[in-house]
A = this chain, B = another copy of it.
Amino acid sequence: MAAIRTARERARAELTAEIKAAARRQLAAVGASELSLRAVARELGMVSSALYRYYGSRDELLTALIIDAYDALGTAAETALAAPAASPRARWLAVADAIRAWGRANPSEYALIYGSPVPGYQAPRDTIDPALRVAFALLAPIRACAADGTLAPLPGPTPTMPDELRAQLDAIAAAVAPELTPDVTARALSAYTLVFGMISFELFGQYTNGVDPADAFFEYTLSRTADLLGLPDVDVHASS
């Protein structure tokens, strides 16, 4: 990131931020596929063609919003991960809570990245890395315990694993978490899916007339899930 030196550069950085802020408001009001450059320009008191000095097309702006959303969520998760925690289990719960809190605070941006894809819009490669940050943060406490052997023996039976799945899980582990056995990787992925499944159901209205507000259900299920992952509830790392 180059240092901002001239007034022109400062103005450009500020206006870029204002454009994205206005676009985020649009997003909340009408949704991703109806995000309109003209409406954004109108809100900023500019003429619509002026936006083309900042983004080459509507899709480019949409991409910037997606990357920002992944980054904001990733930052929230990483902040929770870095905070002091009584145990690996508590740390994992804190990350999951932070993910949910971000989603509730930014429902339209959550929908942008975890809702139905916008037909006709193809997310470019630049979105992949930011998208992985949150997954990494949720994985980190599990990896730390697996690395020093403090992951509790996994409760419950372990189904036989077909070769196809083992190969997929090995590839994931090799890329991001070499400490994990295939079964732990599978449980971690399933826990990750459950965390986002609950948040999506809550935000998209599937829990209406059921467990909405979902705070207690979320915590209860998360607690059971942490046990199934074998995350220890004592601070094993503090004693070293």
Contacts and interface: CB of A to CB of B under 8 A. Distances in A.
A156 B228 contact: yes
Interface residues of A, number: 57
A71 interface: no
- The copy count of this chain in the complex is 2
Interface stretch (A11-19, A46-54, A200-208): A200-208
Contact of A198 (B29, B116, B156, B193): B193
B165 A204 contact: no
Contacts of A168: 210-211, 216-217
A162 interface: yes
A190 B194 contact: yes
Interface of A: 28-34, 108, 111-112, 114-120, 128, 155-159, 161-162, 164-165, 168-169, 172, 186-187, 189-190, 193-194, 196-198, 200-201, 204-206, 209-211, 215-217, 219-221, 223-224, 227-228
